[in-house]
A and B are shown apart, each in its own frame.
Chain A
Amino acid sequence: MSEFPTPASVHERALSVAGDGPAVLVGPALDTDLESPDVDVDGDCYVGPDAAAVGLLAAALDAGVGRLDYPDPSLAADGPWLVLSPCGGRLRTVDCGTATVRIEFDAPAAGSHARLTDQRKRLDSVLSAARPTHDHYPVELDDDGIFTTGMTTFSLESASADSVRLRATTTPSTTAEEIRDRFVDSPDVTRIVIERTVGVERAAPDAALRSAVEDAHVSVVGDCEYAWSSTPTALSTLPSANKIAFGAGTTERFDAEAVADTATILSKTVAAYGGGRE
């Protein structure tokens, strides 16, 4: 049995890949310096913040891909793009988006005590309105994002006497009107400003690519399940619509089985799909 490759050897080998075929992008490697990754090797497992970046890159090498867009991918290029991501064996065409929401209030009351009271009251009201609710599901206890991954959710970025700034996670059904309606009845609100940071756009891989990658998943993991990312990823960064993300493992833990599964899915996909951009 061959030794589990070190992160340094993975990076070195990846630099020399050149050839033809559909473009393969290792999503987590976009934001990672794999010359000195933050990862440990624990037996046959990469562990740490950059575990998926190293593991997925190792999988691409094991799959023998010809066109690995690494380390400086041509992100503006047309697809098809095979985006390797720690998807736990699922496929992904949708990343949630982000927006900022600034809720502005009347001028605060004079006097420090009154000002603090106003600020507390306003912040409490906004945070109460920001909590996720659903008619049927226990979304307030949903630490794993089973339900909330598909909902417009908010987190506090900053608060002052005359405004509160929230970060919103958005879905394909999120509208500015929905967000305004959520906060417009909070006390003393004068204006709500919404700025989209990253939009939500479903990828549209061509039929042959979808078929190839779905069949590969069925043969390796027994199904071809689609899931969303609750945050924008490399998939959203690519302007081309002809793209799809997939891969085994998780962000911070990527073992030999995840490497092998990802490599097999990738090699089967490339073999069935053939071509790629010129």
Chain B
Amino acid sequence: MRTIDADVDGEFVRVEPVESDGLRVNGIPADLAHTRKADVRIDLVEGCKRCFVAEHVLGPLRLRGITAANVVGTVETWDFARPEHRFCYGADLAPSAVVGHPEGLPNPALAAALGSAGIVSNGDRSFGTVSEPLEYSHGGGTIRIEPLDPGTGVELDLVYGDGSFACTVPPDGADEATIDAVTHSTTPYLAPSDEEAATHAVADVLSDVVVIGDLDDVRIEADLGDAYHALTIGAARRARACGAYVERGER
């Protein structure tokens, strides 16, 4: 597992080190069992707790190779133009339940701060992968996930509309140029171009397939449609349903 040696402040969130493997957001485990909403965003739910737009912090964490941490929302003021803030107010939750960036970015300040943070690493992390190629379609999008050699990390080749973006994300994180490009690209709904949307989608796919879906050492090719979190989370669920998901071991 790889965690940080002290608290790291991003914009709108703080990341805390933890002693056991796995990522959490406001204390809620980032896994399929706790993923309630997956369409235009990812919400994690545990009992009465809910966190909103989790993909925009989980993506940057995987881009930096962090596999163990708790993300804490720090927003204290309402912006009711955001549907998530209206949801929180209506359900009597605090605005800190929303951990997504208001500009629809995968928290560039968090990614930058993690880049200069001290990393604590040991080998006691178990993770999963797929044993054979998997294809899944939903909502006009298609995704293919195939296994790579142990220790390779993630290869991504993503298409959104007329835009595309390809990169690799090794187990200890992506290169600085990739991290900078992805975390400064706006979510498709607000993006000025398909190219920027495809670049942004790297963070979302890492969040959904790799972190929440627990599928690492994989190549992911996807032609993404609208509200593509249903596609990416659906593929991770399909991997389990069809028996392609396997524990790979520790790193």
Contacts and interface: CB of A to CB of B under 8 A. Distances in A.
A94 B83 contact: no
Interface stretch (B74-82, B136-144, B204-212): B74-82
Nearest to A222: B36
B85 interface: yes
Contacts of A137: 81, 190
B5 interface: no
A98 interface: no
Given A223-B36, A225-B37, A136 B190 contact: yes
Interface string A210-237: 0000000000000101111000000000
B86 interface: yes
B191 to A, nearest CB: 11
A108 interface: no
Interface stretch (A19-27, A70-78, A146-154, A261-269): A146-154
A236 to B, nearest CB: 13
A228 B87 CA distance: 8
A239 interface: no
B82 to A, nearest CB: 7
A275 interface: no
Dominant SS among interface residues on chain A: loop
A227 B36 contact: no
A147 B86 CA distance: 10
Contact of B90 (A134, A139, A202): A202
B190 A151 contact: no
Contacts of A92: 90
A264 B109 CA distance: 46
Contacts of A134: 81
A229 to B, nearest CB: 10
B82 A150 contact: yes
B170 interface: no
Nearest to A244: B90
Contacts, number: 58
A150 B83 contact: yes
B80 A151 contact: yes
A226 B45 CA distance: 14
A149 B81 CA distance: 7
A47 B89 CA distance: 32
Given A136-B104, A137-B190, A227 B81 contact: no
A147 B90 contact: no
B81 A226 contact: no
A93 interface: yes
B103 interface: yes
A172 B80 contact: yes
Interface in B81-136: 81-83, 85-87, 89-92, 102-104
A138 B192 CA distance: 11
A223 B37 contact: yes
Contacts of B190: 136-138
A45 interface: no
Contacts of B91: 91, 93, 226
A151 B87 CA distance: 14
Contacts of B80: 150-151, 171-173
Interface in B44-92: 78-83, 85-87, 89-92
A139 B86 contact: no
A228 B78 contact: no
A137 B86 CA distance: 15
A146 B103 CA distance: 15
Interface of B: 36-37, 78-83, 85-87, 89-92, 102-104, 190
Interface of A: 91-94, 134, 136-139, 146-151, 171-173, 202, 204, 223, 225-228
8 contacts: A93-B92, A94-B90, A138-B190, A147-B83, A150-B83, A150-B85, A172-B78, A228-B86
9 closest A-B pairs (Cβ-Cβ)?
A: A150-B80, A226-B90, A147-B81, A226-B91, A226-B87, A93-B90, A150-B81, A136-B103, A94-B90
